[in-house]
């Protein structure tokens, strides 16, 4: 590490005393303001757990039932609070069980610090019990990782870990600590990291680029904004709103950007992407200027790149230089933190209304409403739809809940129909599409925002991938609300089989257990509903409950999510049925 | 887009695991590294990776972006062959008797501007530096006589344009 120079802040409370590496790790966490972490103990991390025992008045450790649950809980916590989520595991299988959460956090830019124990230094490479090369394994799915083999490295590396995880485009960092480094003693002192010379987290905004962007926006006849999570991560919600209102530009969002703007804002034209709204998808290919803010042109957003917004000048506001021209060519690239760049852009923007252009969005929404939305949220058929469940949660929660979704049909329906008034309210596994994400993420989200209502919406498939985390809800009395939308199928895969594989339902039919009994086994109040009247009553009861609540809703078995852009098709080839 | 030869130069910290991180970026995109060289650079404490790929400019641009994004990478560039001065080195191990029995071998050594670096009882070793095509030509000339061992280094290259790494680092220290 001698070549990495870290500029440090002077800490007046800097302490110097001989302590073990394990205790040093606790002091590092406390110095970074951590008061909650998730994890699972084991041989190679036991010295740290021993210290956690001693510091339990300052640092709460939540024992998840699987290490994957620890990472997703840490993600939920981070996403809702904007703080760094912390997860801990032992070596070997403990460490490998973190990998899915790391990959999820990497692709969805979530700040995590994961700490793993490792076999003692002299056993490295000997295939010792529970030894695994977690540095090698986690490299492609971490923003940074490092193996500590000497206790004295701990403060500098931990400081760097937190700095890297949360700065610039956030991401997961994994620190692997050999057992000897946990046991050995050294003179501890801690200084926060504020810079790393080889790392430029926030590029300086280029005023010329911003002027060029302003000119394009001001001269545009049919401009469209598509924003992503970069607005939330950059804390630029106010700037985005101001930009939209001043410029009059219709604004659509990616799944990761969902709650950055009030769902009912008149210029909010909905979601883009595979199951996004009709108007913003189709009109992406009619706009003359496409203003992308803190989004990365994921293939689920763009469909076929060959036919994506070819007619438009593209302006890309982005913090990560590597995203520029990665998928879509940017005519104007504005690097920097979205709060800074939008703040600089705002005074250059001319007031406008774009009424005729906005009218087109309204017209197309009407088509979508009549053909899709109305049937989803106000169905007249007997069976329950996922959409009406979400709509009922909107009604009962006053659109104030944090909605945590898993992956699949219910996720698309959830993101389409859940309404938000507050940022950081839609927590989902967007990029990786990790089934099993929602239940642990909801636990983390609740702990990150105890004052808020947290509702997890999960399919019957994904629920069973991390169902063991009910144990955490039970043990720690976490008052999350769990809604399982049960269609007895892996719904999204089944939908694809129906549409593209001649209804050959290969391994998508699920014979499910009695979910209510399982929840009751954990002393969680539980209900199952299958009629509209019962649904309304149950959701009212669930939202009113002060405790955890489990609600299984038996929904139509073979409903499909529309609109849909078939994989690889153009955004203008949206299917409404 | 046409595939071309590109030389990627990476200035980085000298840390364990960075090679793995960089090679993973190629692996993820199923792109083969044609040649790789890691050495110290002109700046103290800064390493330099020289990586040769045969792919499109678009992919090279994306790869370089991903490399530069890594925390311990200071700066990454890519250049076409015309924009760099580049060389590779090789060693040929050849049976000693051929040096005396086959007069043509001495001519090959001379014509190719290569040197004999050692002569032992059973073998001698020829070293040659140059562009890959020059090396390939020499290889083809020696092959009929029998090559006991052959090894080629990765490409090393310097760019014609200024790299300004020192300026970049100085800027960092001034800002902080």
Task: Name the closest residue on chain A to residue B13, using Cα atoms.
Answer: A3
pLDDT at A9: 43
Chain A interface, Cβ < 8 Å to B: 1-4, 7, 135-136, 139-140, 143-147, 164, 194-199, 320-326
**Gap between the Cα atoms of A468 and A353, Å rounded:** 52
Active site residue A129: yes
pLDDT at A13: 56
How far from the centroid of its chain's Cα atoms is residue A219's Cα? Answer: 35
Active site residue A67: yes
Give the C-alpha distances (Å, rounded to integers) separating B123 from A152, A398, A419, B91, B105. Answer: 51, 86, 79, 12, 13
Measured in degrees and rounded to the nearest 5, phi and psi for residue A540 equal: -60, -45
Contact check, Cβ <8 Å, B71/A197: no
Contact check, Cβ <8 Å, A322/B68: yes
Q: Which domains does chain B have, with CATH numbers?
A: 3-84+159-175 (3.30.70.260), 86-152 (3.30.70.1150)
Contact check, Cβ <8 Å, B20/A139: yes
pLDDT at A210: 98
B164 — pLDDT class (breaks 50, 70, 90): confident
Report the residue from A2, A136, A324 with minimal CB separation from B20: A136
pLDDT at A2: 36
How far from the centroid of its chain's Cα atoms is residue B163's Cα? Answer: 18
Nearest to A253 by CA among A269, A268, A271: A271
**Gap between the Cα atoms of A411 and A426, Å rounded:** 10
Active site residue A18: no
Q: How far is A328 from chain B (nearest CA, A)?
A: 11
**Gap between the Cα atoms of B31 and B23, Å rounded:** 10
Task: Name the closest residue on chain A to residue B68, using Cα atoms.
Answer: A322
Task: Name the closest residue on chain B to residue A138, using Cα atoms.
Answer: B21
Which candidate in A143, A160, A166, A179 is catalytic? A179
Nearest to B37 by CA among B77, B96, B88, B95: B88
- The ranges assigned to domains in chain A are 6-196, 207-361, 378-554
Which tokens go with A319? 């913090």
Which one has a higher pLDDT value, B129 or B1?
B129
Which candidate in A23, A32, A51, A67 is catalytic? A67
Q: Which residues of chain A lie closer than 8 angstroms to B71, CB-CB? A: 143-144, 164, 196, 198-199
Question: Is the dihedral angle over the CA atoms A97, A101, A104, A110 positive or is it negative?
Answer: negative
pLDDT at B100: 86
Alpha helices in chain B (DSSP H): 18-28, 57-69, 96-101, 103-111, 132-142, 165-175
Q: A-contacting residues of B 16-75, CB under 8 Å?
A: 16-17, 20-21, 24, 27-28, 45-46, 61-62, 65-66, 68-69, 71-74
Instruction: Kindly write down the DSSP assignment for every residue of A164-218, as one continuous string.
Output: HHHSSS--EEEEEEEHHHHHSEEEE----EEEETTB-SSPPP-HHHHHHHHHHHH
Instruction: Kindly write down the DSSP assignment for every residue of A475-538, as one continuous string.
Output: HHT---EEEEEE-SB-HHHHHHHHHHSTT--TT-B-----HHHHHHHTT-EEEEE-SHHHHHHH
**Gap between the Cα atoms of A218 and A352, Å rounded:** 8
pLDDT at residue B173 is higher than 90: no
What does the CA dihedral A193, A197, A199, A205 come to, rounded to 10 degrees?
100
Contact check, Cβ <8 Å, A198/B62: no
pLDDT at B169: 84
**Gap between the Cα atoms of A383 and A364, Å rounded:** 27
Contact A387, A252 (CB under 8 A): no
Contact check, Cβ <8 Å, A199/B14: no
**Gap between the Cα atoms of A574 and A536, Å rounded:** 32
Check: complex ipTM more than 0.85? yes
Give the C-alpha distances (Å, rounded to integers) separating A486 from A354, A429, A499, B143. Answer: 43, 19, 21, 70
Which tokens go with A19? 């302590």
Question: Is the dihedral angle over the CA atoms A232, A236, A241, A245 positive or is it negative?
Answer: negative
Contact A306, A329 (CB under 8 A): no
List average pLDDT for each run of 10 residues in chain A, which is 577 residues long. Answer: 41 68 97 98 98 97 98 98 98 98 98 98 97 98 98 98 98 98 96 95 96 98 98 98 98 97 98 97 98 98 96 98 97 98 98 97 98 96 97 97 98 98 98 98 98 98 98 98 98 96 97 98 98 98 98 97 95 94
Check if CATH label 3.90.180.10 holds for domain A207-361. Answer: no
Q: What CATH topology corresponds to A378-554?
A: Rossmann fold (3.40.50)
B170 — pLDDT class (breaks 50, 70, 90): confident
**Gap between the Cα atoms of A433 and A104, Å rounded:** 8
Contact check, Cβ <8 Å, A143/B71: yes
Which candidate in A7, A9, A56, A129 is catalytic? A129
Measured in degrees and rounded to the nearest 5, phi and psi for residue A15 equal: -110, 155
What does the CA dihedral A428, A271, A371, A561 come to, rounded to 10 degrees?
-30
pLDDT at A15: 53
Active site residue A56: no
The CATH class, in words, for A6-196 is alpha beta
Nearest to A68 by CA among A42, A92, A44, A40: A40
Contact A469, A62 (CB under 8 A): no
Q: How far is B167 from chain A (nearest CA, A)?
A: 12
Q: Which residues of chain B lie closer than 8 angstroms to A194, CB-CB? A: 176
Contact A402, A425 (CB under 8 A): yes
Maximal CA-CA distance, chain A: 71
Contact check, Cβ <8 Å, A197/B14: no
Contact check, Cβ <8 Å, A324/B74: no
Contact check, Cβ <8 Å, B74/A198: yes
């Amino acid at each position: 590490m001698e070549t990495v120079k870290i500029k440090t802040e002077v800490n007046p409370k800097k302490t110097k005393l001989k302590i073990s590496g394990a205790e040093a790790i606790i002091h590092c966490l406390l110095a970074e303001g951590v008061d909650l972490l998730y994890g699972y103990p084991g041989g190679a991390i036991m010295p740290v757990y021993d210290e956690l025992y001693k510091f339990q008045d300052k640092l709460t450790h939540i024992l998840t039932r699987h290490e994957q649950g620890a990472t997703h809980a840490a993600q939920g916590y981070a996403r809702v609070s904007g703080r760094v989520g912390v997860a801990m595991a032992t070596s070997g299988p403990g460490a490998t069980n973190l990998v899915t959460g790391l990959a999820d956090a990497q692709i969805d830019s979530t700040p995590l610090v994961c700490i793993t124990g490792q076999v003692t230094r002299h056993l490295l490479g000997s295939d010792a019990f529970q030894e695994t090369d977690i540095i090698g394994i986690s490299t492609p799915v971490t923003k940074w990782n490092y193996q500590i083999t000497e206790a004295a490295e701990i403060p500098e590396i931990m400081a760097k870990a937190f700095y890297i995880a949360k700065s610039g485009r956030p991401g997961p960092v994994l620190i692997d600590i050999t057992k000897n480094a946990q046991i050995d003693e050294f003179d501890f002192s801690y200084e926060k990291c504020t810079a790393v010379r080889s790392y430029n987290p926030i590029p300086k905004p280029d005023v010329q680029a911003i002027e060029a962007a302003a000119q394009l926006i001001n001269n545009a006849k049919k401009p469209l904004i598509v924003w992503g999570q970069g607005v939330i991560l950059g804390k630029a919600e106010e700037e985005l709103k101001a930009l939209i209102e001043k410029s009059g530009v219709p604004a659509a969002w990616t799944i990761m950007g969902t709650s950055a703007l009030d769902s009912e804002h008149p210029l909010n034209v909905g979601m883009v992407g595979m199951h996004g709204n009709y108007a913003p998808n189709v009109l992406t290919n009619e706009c003359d200027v496409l203003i992308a803010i803190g989004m990365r042109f994921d293939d689920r957003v763009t469909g076929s790149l060959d036919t994506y917004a070819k007619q438009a000048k593209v302006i890309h506001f982005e913090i990560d230089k590597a995203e520029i021209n990665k998928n879509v060519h940017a005519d104007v690239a504005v690097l920097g933190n979205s709060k800074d760049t939008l703040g600089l852009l705002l005074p250059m923007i001319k007031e406008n209304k774009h009424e005729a252009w906005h009218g087109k969005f309204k017209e197309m929404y009407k088509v979508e409403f009549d053909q899709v939305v109305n049937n989803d949220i106000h169905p007249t058929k007997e069976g329950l739809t996922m959409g009406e469940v979400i709509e009922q949660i909107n009604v009962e929660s006053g659109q104030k809940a944090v909605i945590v979704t898993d992956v699949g049909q219910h996720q698309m329906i959830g993101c389409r129909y859940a309404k938000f008034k507050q940022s950081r309210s839609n927590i989902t596994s967007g990029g990786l599409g990790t089934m099993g994400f929602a239940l642990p993420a909801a636990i983390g989200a609740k702990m990150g925002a105890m004052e808020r209502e947290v509702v997890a919406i999960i399919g019957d498939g994904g629920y069973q991938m991390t169902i063991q985390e009910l144990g955490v809800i039970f043990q720690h009395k976490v008052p999350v609300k769990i809604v399982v939308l049960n269609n007895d199928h892996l719904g999204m895969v089944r939908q694809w089989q129906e549409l593209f594989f001649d209804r050959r339902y290969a391994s998508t039919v699920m014979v499910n257990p009695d979910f209510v009994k399982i929840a009751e086994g954990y002393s969680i109040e539980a209900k199952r509903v299958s009629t509209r009247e019962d649904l309304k009553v149950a959701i009212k009861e669930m939202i009113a409950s002060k405790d955890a609540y489990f609600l299984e809703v038996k929904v139509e078995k073979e409903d499909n999510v529309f609109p849909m852009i078939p994989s690889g098709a153009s955004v203008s080839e949206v299917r409404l049925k | 887009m046409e595939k071309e030869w590109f030389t990627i130069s990476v200035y980085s910290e000298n840390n364990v695991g960075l090679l793995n991180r960089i090679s993973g970026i190629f692996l993820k995109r199923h792109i083969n590294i044609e040649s790789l060289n890691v050495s110290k650079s002109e700046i103290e404490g800064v390493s330099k990776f020289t990586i040769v790929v045969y792919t499109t400019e678009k992919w090279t641009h994306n790869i370089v972006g991903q490399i530069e994004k890594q925390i311990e990478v200071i700066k990454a560039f890519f250049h076409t062959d015309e924009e760099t001065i580049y060389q590779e080195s090789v060693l040929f191990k050849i049976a000693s008797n051929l040096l005396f029995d086959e007069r043509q071998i001495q001519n090959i050594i001379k014509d190719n501007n290569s040197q004999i670096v050692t002569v032992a009882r059973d073998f001698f070793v020829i070293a040659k530096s140059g562009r890959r095509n020059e090396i390939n030509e020499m290889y083809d000339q020696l092959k009929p006589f029998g090559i006991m061992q052959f090894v080629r280094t990765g490409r090393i290259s310097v760019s014609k344009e200024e790299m300004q790494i020192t300026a970049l680092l100085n800027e960092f220290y001034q800002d902080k």
